[in-house]
Amino acid sequence: MSDLTLREAARKPEAIASGHRLCAGCDESIIARMVLKATRGPTIVTSATGCLEVATTIFPYSAWNLPWIHTAFENAAANASGIEAAWRAMRKKGKGPLAKYETLDIVAFAGDGGTYDIGFQALSGAMERGHDFTYVLIDNEAYMNTGIQRSGGTPFAASTTTSPAGRVIPGKKEWKKPIDDIVIAHGIPYVATISAAWPMDVMRKARKAFEAEGPAFLHAIVPCTRGWRYPQEKTIEVSRLAVQTCFFPLYECRKEEGWPVYELSGPSAAVARRPESKKPVEEYLQMQGRFRHLFRPEKREDLIQSIQDWVDHRWEMLLKRVG
Amino acid sequence: MKKQILMGMNGDEASAYSAKQVNPDVVAAYPITPQTIIVERFSEYVADGEVDTEFVAVESEHSALSSCIGAAAAGARAFTATAANGLALMWEMTYIASSLRLPIVMAIANRALSGPINIHNDHSDSMGARDCGWIQIYCENSQEVYDAGIAAWRIGEHPNVQLPVMVCLDGFTLSHTMENVLTLPDDVVKDFVGERRFIRVEGHMGETELRLNPDAPLTMGPLDLQDYYFEHKMQQIEAMEQALKAIPEVDAEYAKISGRSYGFLHPYRMEDAEVAVLGLGSTMGTVRYVVDELRSEGVKAGLIKMRVFRPFPAEELVKTVGDVPVLGVLDKAASFGAPGGPLYEEVKSVFYDEAEKPFIADFIHGLGGRDTSPSMIRGIYENLTEIREKGEVPEKVSFVGVREQEGR
Amino acid sequence: MSESKPTWRELPKGAVSTKSSTEYETGDWGVEKPEIDHSKCTKCMLCHFYCPEGAIKVREDGYTEVDLRYCKGCGICAEECPVECITMVRKK
- ipTM comes to 0.96
Which amino acid is located at B265 in the chain? L
Give me the mean pLDDT over the C22-51 stretch. 97
CB-nearest to B162 from C5, C13, C20 is C13
Which residue of A6, A12, A18, A224 to mutate against C (max C Cβ within 10 Å)?
Answer: A18
CB B215 within 8 A of CB B35: no
Chain B closest-CA separation from residue A72 CA (Å): 8
Nearest chain A CA: its distance from B88 CA (Å): 16
Question: C8, C22, C24: which to substitute to probe chain B, counting the most B Cβ within 10 Å?
Answer: C8
Q: Which of B211, B384, B408, B346 is nearest to A99 (CA)?
A: B211
Give the pLDDT of residue A98: 97
DSSP character at residue B188: H
Q: Does residue A1 register a pLDDT over 70? A: no
Min Cα–Cα distance to chain A from B30, Å: 12
- pLDDT at residue B223, rounded to an integer: 98
- Taking the CA of residue A255 and the nearest CA in chain B, the distance in Å comes to 24
Task: Count the neighbouring beta carbons within 10 Å of the beta carbon of residue B207.
Answer: 10
Residue A43, pLDDT > 90, answer: yes
The answer to whether A44 faces chain B, any CB pair under 8 Å, is: yes
Give which of B327, B383, B142, B135 is closest to B236, Cα–Cα: B135
- pLDDT of B408: 53
- Asked if B186 and B193 count as a contact pair (C-beta separation under 8 A), the reply is no
Residues of B in Cβ contact (< 8 Å) with C13: 101, 162, 199, 201, 210, 235, 239
CA pair distance B383, B279, nearest whole angstrom:
16
C-alpha dihedral, A175 to A179 to A185 to A190, nearest 10°: -150
With CA atoms as reference, report the closest residue to C59 among C71, C51, C67. Answer: C67
From CA B361, how far away is CA B383, in angstroms rounded? 9
pLDDT at residue A308, as a whole number: 98
Residue B217 and residue A68: Cβ atoms within 8 Å?
A: yes
Residues of B in contact with C17 (CB under 8 A): 203-204, 218-219, 222
Distance CA B9, CA B81 (A): 17
pLDDT at C2: 53
Contact between A17 and C54 using a beta-carbon 8 Å cutoff: yes
Find the mean pLDDT for residues C19-38.
97
**Spatial separation of the C-alpha atoms in residues B152 and B154, rounded to whole Å:** 6
Cross-chain CB nearest to C15 (options B99, B162, B238): B99
pLDDT, tens digit only, all 408 positions of chain B: 778 999 999 999 999 999 999 999 999 999 999 999 999 999 999 999 999 999 999 999 999 999 999 999 999 999 999 999 999 999 999 999 999 999 999 999 999 999 999 999 999 999 999 999 999 999 999 999 999 999 999 999 999 999 999 999 999 999 999 999 999 999 999 999 999 999 999 999 999 999 999 999 999 999 999 999 999 999 999 999 999 999 999 999 999 999 999 999 999 999 999 999 999 999 999 999 999 999 999 999 999 999 999 999 999 999 999 999 999 999 999 999 999 999 999 999 999 999 999 999 999 999 999 999 999 999 999 999 999 999 999 999 999 999 998 765
The verdict on a CB contact (< 8 Å) between B218 and A59 is no
* C78 contacts in chain A (CB < 8 Å): 233
Tell me, what DSSP letter sits at residue A267? H
Cα of B28 vs its chain's centroid, Å: 20
Residue of C15, A81, A97 lying closest to B69 (CA atoms): A81
The minimal CB distance from B62 to the residues A75, A87, A88 is found for A75
Q: What is the pLDDT of residue B2?
A: 76
Q: Looking at beta carbons, which residues of chain C come within 8 Å of B234?
A: 8
Chain B CB contacts of A44 below 8 Å: 74, 212, 214
Query: C51 to chain A nearest CA, in Å?
Result: 6
Residues of C in contact with A69 (CB under 8 A): none
Q: Does B70 contact A122 at a Cβ distance shorter than 8 Å?
A: no
User: In terms of Cα–Cα distance, which of B371, B326, B372, B362 is closest to B342?
Assistant: B362
Give the CA angle between residues A164, A166, A167 to the nearest 5°: 170
From C39's Cα to the closest Cα of chain A, the distance in A is 20
pLDDT tens digits, A244-276: 999 999 999 999 999 999 999 999 999 999 999
- Mean pLDDT for the stretch of residues A138-164: 97
C-alpha to C-alpha distances, C45 to B384, C69, C80, nearest whole angstrom:
83, 20, 11
H/E run at residue A139: strand A134-139
Contact by Cβ (8 Å): A311, A248: no
Cα separation, B341 vs B347, in Å, equals: 10
- For residue C75, the chain A residue with the least C-alpha distance is A233
Which ranges in chain A belong to alpha helices (H)?
Answer: 6-11, 27-37, 51-56, 76-93, 120-129, 179-185, 199-211, 235-244, 266-273, 281-286, 301-322
Helix (H) or strand (E) holding B142: helix B142-157
Cα B303 to Cα B330: distance, rounded to the nearest angstrom: 11
Q: Specify whether the CB–CB gap between B328 and B383 falls below 8 A.
A: yes
**Length of chain C as a residue count:** 92
What is the rounded CA–CA span in Å between residue B5 and residue B180?
10
Q: What per-residue confidence (pLDDT) applies to B1?
A: 74
Q: Mean pLDDT for chain A?
A: 97
What are C's interface residues with B at a Cβ cutoff of 8 A?
5-8, 11-20
Asked whether the beta carbons of residue C15 and residue B162 sit closer than 8 angstroms, the reply is no
In single-letter form, the type of residue at position B55 comes to F
The helix, strand and coil proportions of chain B, stated in percent and rounded to the nearest 5, come to 40, 20, 40
Say yes or no for a CB contact (<8 Å) between A70 and B214.
no
Size of interface A-B (CB pairs under 8 A): 174
Region A218-230: mean pLDDT is 98
DSSP element (H, E) containing B64? helix B61-73
* Chains B–C, number of C-beta pairs less than 8 Å apart: 60
Mean pLDDT score, A50-66: 98
CA distance A265 to A194: 9
Q: What is the pLDDT of residue A170?
A: 97
Other CB atoms within 10 A of residue A302 CB: 9
**Count of C-beta atoms within a 10 Å radius of residue A292:** 15
End-to-end Cα separation, chain C, in angstroms: 23
Residues A320, A312: Cα–Cα separation, whole Å: 12
- Compute the average pLDDT of residues A60-89: 98
Q: What digits encode the pLDDT tens for the residues A174-210?
A: 999 999 999 999 999 999 999 999 999 999 999 999 9
Question: Quick check: B343 and B309 in contact, CB under 8 A?
Answer: yes
Other C-beta atoms closer than 10 Å to the C-beta of C8 total: 15
The values of phi and psi at residue A221, to 5°, are: -80, 125
**CA of C25, closest CA in chain A: separation in Å?**
5
Q: Are B257 and B183 in contact (CB under 8 A)?
A: no
Question: Do A221 and A193 form a contact (C-beta atoms < 8 A)?
Answer: yes
Q: How many CB pairs under 8 A join A and C?
A: 110
pLDDT at position B290 = 98
